[in-house]
Amino acid sequence: MVALDASNIKLNNRKRIIKLLSVEREVTKLDISRKLDISVPTVSTIILELIKEGIVEEAGMASSTGGRKPVIIKFLPNSRYSIGVNLDSGSVKAVLTNLDGDIICRLDKELMDISETCVLKTMKELIETLMSKCDKDKQCMGVGFSLPGTIDEKNMRLDFAANFKLNNLAFKDLQADFNVPMYLENEANAGALAEWQLGLAKDKNNVIYISISQGVGGGFIIDKKMYKGSERRAGEIGHMTINKNGRACNCGKKGCWETYASQRALISDYNQLTKKNVRHLEDVVRAYRNNEVPAQQVLKNYIEDLAEGIKNLMFIFNPDYIIIGGEISRYSDIFSSALIEKVFDNNVFYKKEDVNILFSSLDGDANILGAAIIPIVEGFGFTDI
Ligand SMILES: [Zn+2]
């Protein structure tokens, strides 16, 4: 165990107090002292600092059983902002959120082409616009990026994004343009963070988040910590082989899970069967709801393939929750029960009640919200509480 020196202890107490306030919203200093086992004078000193910084305020008196009425300290979620940026198929999306992850402003811009110059220029424009919406006295805590590939966080680089044909996308110059901290994260890790902090898997011990978009990615919370692996490359679940002589994947292999279970695969299977050329998931869903046989067939096969990968993950990780995110989560009513049935059908290891398989409740925003809360989590130091 590492001994904490006085300044570390103070910093740690500060983090714990902010975290408690962000959860409890309104609390007295005595409550804080009791709940966190920190002395009242120390709590008072830290609260005074937080009041000066505008993160909390005094909000009236609590009732008292005798003696002086204690002052209520109130958390102010709109005292700071954060920005999340997501690189999607053909577009960049950006959001401005408050400390609760509530979206205050949302921007979306189509990419003229998928090149380093165009992607970075578009991101810069969107960040500038969102920064200009921040009140001068309310500091922006930073920008988080949710990116579809392997990330080199230290060198601020997107190393490799197979489905975008993008390599070595450098964010250092972009960081130099803005005087705030910036964080790069794989989109599935960002989504996992959002589900774990804000979504259905809030504070659960073991969570797998499956991000379904152009490809399929995974983010893992294991024993209440995000697991990224030794080179921070864990979670490439879309490239698990489910059919060794199967479809050709953008990674160069055959039969990767995402060639069957991605949103792109679903749309392309539908187009192949119907000789149509739809581009959006909602077109396939509409056809399904209209009882069109090809759409029903394609969805049935899709759900079977999705279930195969989910079973593999379940056997390896034994999670409490598996959350499926991406646009598909908006249509959980047509996927959910059939998927759960497939996953637990002939499954001698798990019964339905053992693992919760849910579709994200964040309306397709898990990845970008996860990106937006990284500067908050890092800025307040919640990662190592
Ligand atoms: Zn692959």
CA of 268 to the centre of ligand 1 (A): 17
CA of 317 to the centre of ligand 1 (A): 21
CA of 220 to the centre of ligand 1 (A): 19
CA of 258 to the centre of ligand 1 (A): 7
CATH match of 6-75 with 3.10.110.10: no
Domain spanning 201-361, CATH class? alpha beta
Helices first, then strands: H and E counts in the chain:
12, 16
pLDDT in tens, the chain (385 residues): 455 677 788 888 999 999 999 999 999 999 999 999 999 999 999 999 999 999 999 988 777 666 777 899 999 999 999 999 999 878 999 999 999 999 999 999 999 888 889 999 999 999 999 999 887 667 899 999 999 888 998 899 998 887 777 888 999 989 889 989 999 999 999 999 999 999 999 889 999 999 998 899 999 999 999 999 988 889 999 999 999 999 999 999 999 999 999 999 999 999 999 999 999 999 999 999 999 999 999 999 999 999 999 999 999 999 999 999 999 999 999 999 999 999 999 999 999 999 999 999 998 899 999 999 999 999 888 765 5
- Per residue in 131-157, pLDDT (tens digit) is 998 876 678 999 999 998 889 988 999
269-298 as b/e: b if 16+ CB within 10 A: bbbeebeeeeeebebbbebbeeeeebbeeb
* pTM score of the predicted model: 0.89
Q: What are phi and psi of 166, to 5 degrees?
A: -115, 130
Same fold, 6-75 and 80-192+367-384: no
User: Which run of H or E residues covers position 32?
Assistant: helix 29-36
CA of 240 to the centre of ligand 1 (A): 7
CA of 237 to the centre of ligand 1 (A): 9
- Per residue in 323-341, pLDDT (tens digit) is 999 999 999 999 999 999 9
CA of 239 to the centre of ligand 1 (A): 4
CA of 254 to the centre of ligand 1 (A): 7
- Domain boundaries defined on the chain: 6-75, 80-192+367-384, 201-361
Assign domain 80-192+367-384 one CATH number from 3.30.379.10, 3.30.420.40, 1.10.540.10, 1.10.150.120.
3.30.420.40
